[in-house]
Amino acid sequence: MTTPTAPLSQDELKTLVGQAALQYVVPGEIVGVGTGSTVNKFIDALASMKDQIKGAVSSSVASTERLKALGIPVFDANEVNALAVYIDGADEIDGQGHMVKGGGAALTREKIVAALAKQFVCIADASKLVDVLGHFPLPVEVIPMAAGQIARRFEAMGATAALRLKDGQPLVTDNGQHILDVHGLTITAPLAFESEVNQWPGVVTVGVFAHQKAHVCLLGTATGVKTIAY
Ligand code: 5RP
């Protein structure tokens, strides 16, 4: 009789996909690195091949610190013209590879580094896969003086927007701005939605990644890592 094995925890699934992403890292090149608990697993795994890469371009102060602590050189985004691959997590990913990101408040730099990359590899546990984006509160980085009017625009859409707080004060991003978390959206047309919100005055970055969707998702499931190409 075989002993039933316990299902993998969410943390173990994150470790699995973080390790699986190593196969997309191109030896001799600089890799784009995202932000978050799943990416932290990737960064830890990347340390095992640090002698085979030139280094990384990072999407946040937190990832930069982790990379440097492991001895991985970090380049400024302005030092590179292109990256072969950008590896990052997501708060939600749909069946076309469109994502909601920014749960870690790093969405602006994530979009900037992703825009340098030929390929976006999303690493996520199965809880992130959705039919329609919007259940996870949508992060929007905003210039503080515009937060009120941007919140009212979302309210006119039937949603509610809350300023993200840290220790009772507005959270300040790596770029010195604030984050609105927007509840109650159903984003059925992610490309159009991203384009529209992006042009509202005071919006720095909307956390819908549709114009820069994933090319591949490494999804951690109960039966192992599933590779989904879009
Ligand atoms: C940070 C992000 C992250 O990729 C997203 O929040 C997922 O994080 P985690 O891997 O911790 O679930 O967009 O801004």
Question: Would you say residue 29 lies in a domain?
Answer: yes
pLDDT at 5 over 80: no
Task: Provide the token pair at 32.
Answer: 């784009």
Query: Do 98 and 178 fall within a single domain?
Result: no
Query: Do 21 and 113 fall within a single domain?
Result: yes
**58-61-66 Cα angle (round to 5):** 75
pLDDT, tens digit, for every residue of 156-203? 999 999 999 999 999 999 999 999 999 999 999 999 999 999 999 999
**Domain assignment of residue 220, given as a range:** 10-130+211-229
The DSSP code for 28 is: T
Three-state SS letters, 88-121: ECCCEECCCCCEECCCCCCHHHHHHHHHHEEEEE
Query: Do 62 and 165 fall within a single domain?
Result: no
Query: Do 144 and 121 fall within a single domain?
Result: no
Query: Do 24 and 122 fall within a single domain?
Result: yes
**Residue to substitute in 40, 101, 109 for testing ligand 1 pocket (most ligand atoms within 8 angstroms of CB):** 101
Decide if 17 contacts 11 (C-beta within 8 A).
no
The 3-state DSSP class for residue 85 equals strand
Distances (CA, A) of 178 to 78, 120, 139: 24, 26, 10
Query: Do 117 and 216 fall within a single domain?
Result: yes
pTM: 0.96
Nearest CA to ligand 1 atom 7: 90
State the catalytic residues.
Answer: 110
Query: Do 91 and 125 fall within a single domain?
Result: yes
Ligand 1 midpoint to CA 38 (Å): 7
Question: Would you say residue 4 lies in a domain?
Answer: no
Q: Write out residues with Cβ below 6 Å of ligand 1.
A: 34-38, 88-91, 101-107, 110
Query: Do 31 and 88 fall within a single domain?
Result: yes
d(CA 169, CA 172): 9
Ligand 1 midpoint to CA 1 (Å): 40
Ligand 1 midpoint to CA 154 (Å): 23
Ramachandran assignment for 169, one of left (phi > 0), alpha (psi -120 to 50 degrees), beta (any other):
beta
Question: Would you say residue 145 lies in a domain?
Answer: yes
Query: Do 28 and 114 fall within a single domain?
Result: yes
Query: Do 111 and 225 fall within a single domain?
Result: yes
Query: Do 31 and 107 fall within a single domain?
Result: yes
CATH of the domain at 81: 3.40.50.1360
pLDDT, tens digit, for every residue of 16-46? 999 999 999 999 999 999 999 999 999 999 9
pLDDT at position 3, please? 65
Number of domains in the chain: 2
Query: Do 161 and 221 fall within a single domain?
Result: no
